[in-house]
Amino acid sequence: MSGVPAPLPAAVRRARGLVARATVLRTEDRPVFVGACPRSGTTLLRSMLHAHPSLALPRETHFVLEAYRRRGRFGDLRIPARRAELVEWIVRRPESQFGRLEVDPDHATARLYAAPPTLGSVLGTAFQLFAERHGKPRWGDKRPLYVEELPAVFDLFPDAQFVSIVRDPRAVIASMKKLGWLDDWYDGTVAGAVVRWMRSVTRGRRGLERLRPDQIREVRYETLVGDPESVLGDLCSFLKLSTEHLDRMVAFHRSETDIPDTQRERYHPRLDQPVTATAIDSWTEVLEPEESAFIERKAARLMELYGYEPRARGVTVPPHLESRFRQFREQRRPRGDRPAAMSDSYPVAARLTTGQRRRYAVARAVRRG
């Protein structure tokens, strides 16, 4: 009958049923990503999750989002020369920090080249190698910027699970200030750091609204350090990890760390100590009253949503902070999500896990149907 769509072929209907059931039944090999505004506790959470015997998360690398933004340059990975160029770019480029995976570069080159010919598959294979090195069946990755680039993460890894962390913006920015990041990144003021915190939290909340409950979970830093066993138990349930190893995860600091001493002493001095909430309010000793007041004014709505009480009422805010805030807010930065002017001519999604392969099978069946 005119205007009535033809019924789907039986093979397509069966394939769609399989992928729907796979989402529920098979979750143990889904990749796990951690992200947040910098200095929100991503390294702490990464260390806790990595202590689980079934999940491996490496130190921070810089090639996933960078490769995604350049996917048009690498093009059709079914072409051997294109695939070889991508693999060389990932493994040999110093800026990738690929060495943090601690796998043999020649072996990695061969394995990545042999991966299914999609960008996600090649990238995911790098982390598979890291998990194999640690004798673990499942991999993940931690990078603060991921929370701002959720479309890219799920474009590459459609079955991914994401954990975002939210921390009091005053504590976040105080930590940045102690490290000299306000001078390095934000012209020496808190204005740009407030913009970064608000953007990270807002995009994480957008993910909570748009993704399924099995795809994303939000954690508050203060709750994590105040009751780590409870939070980690909830995360293990979310990630379908055994909860038998919570003691080991909470006591991650007793395990050998892969973070060099110089970096740990400068950036993560408490990682070799038991988790504690005693330093939650240490930001009061770092920020000036007008800095705290400015943060509380600009981030008021989000702070209220998370129960962060203002403490600098009545403090005058310098006018130059207002103008710098507007300038930082108007700045554009490279986005990891799909540019509107660009459509992918070649498949991007990984084909490594159970869910990824089933989705690929469905897509092929639909195209053939």
Q: Which residue has the tokens 């998360």?
A: 57
The pairing of beta strand 216-220 with beta strand 55-56? unpaired
Residue 264's pLDDT band, with cuts at 50, 70 and 90, is low
Distance from C-alpha of 148 to C-alpha of 160, rounded to nearest angstrom: 15
How far is the CA of 67 from the CAs of 16, 157, 311, 313, 328, in angstroms?
Answer: 30, 14, 43, 45, 26
Which pLDDT does position 259 carry in this prediction?
65
pTM of model > 0.95: no
Contacts of the segment 243-252: beta carbons below 8 A, 24+ positions apart: 245/51, 245/52, 245/53, 248/51, 248/52, 248/53, 249/48, 249/49, 249/51, 249/52, 250/48, 250/275, 251/51, 252/47, 252/48, 252/50, 252/51
Whole-angstrom CA distances from 73 to 46, 51, 240, 329, 340 are 32, 37, 37, 30, 17
Burial string for 12-36 (b: 16+ CB within 10 Å, else e) reads beebbebbeebbeeebebbbbbbbb
Query: Is the confidence at residue 299, as pLDDT, over 50?
Result: yes
Structural contact between residues 152 and 206, judged by C-beta atoms closer than 8 angstroms: no
Q: How far apart are CA 154 and CA 356, in angstroms?
A: 11
Of the listed ranges 161-175, 232-246, 331-345, the one predicted with least confidence: 331-345
pLDDT at 271: 72
Residue 312 pLDDT:
85
Distance separating alpha carbons of residues 309 and 222, to the nearest angstrom = 13
Is the Cβ–Cβ distance between 31 and 161 less than 8 Å? yes
CA-to-CA dists, residue 166 to 29, 56, 78, 125, 193, angstroms: 26, 22, 40, 29, 14
> Can you give the three-state secondary structure of 240-280, one letter per residue?
CCCCCCHHHHHCHHHCCCCCCHHHHHHHCCCCCCCCCCCCC
Q: When comparing pLDDT for 261 and 168, which is higher?
A: 168
- Predicted local confidence at residue 333, as pLDDT: 56
- pLDDT at residue 66 tops 90: yes
Residue burial 317-354, b: 16+ Cβ < 10 Å; e: rest: beeebeebbeebeeeeeeebbeeeeeeeebbbbbbbbb
The mean predicted confidence, pLDDT, of the chain is: 88
pLDDT of 342 strictly over 90: no
Q: What value does the mean pLDDT take over residues 293-320?
A: 94
How far separated are the first and last CA of the chain, in Å rounded? Answer: 19
Q: Which residue has the higher pLDDT, 337 or 116?
A: 116
Report pLDDT digits (tens) over 141-154. Answer: 999 999 999 999 99
What pLDDT was estimated at residue 73? Answer: 94
Mean pLDDT computed over 225-230: 97
- 169-178, 327-336, 356-365: range with lowest mean pLDDT: 327-336
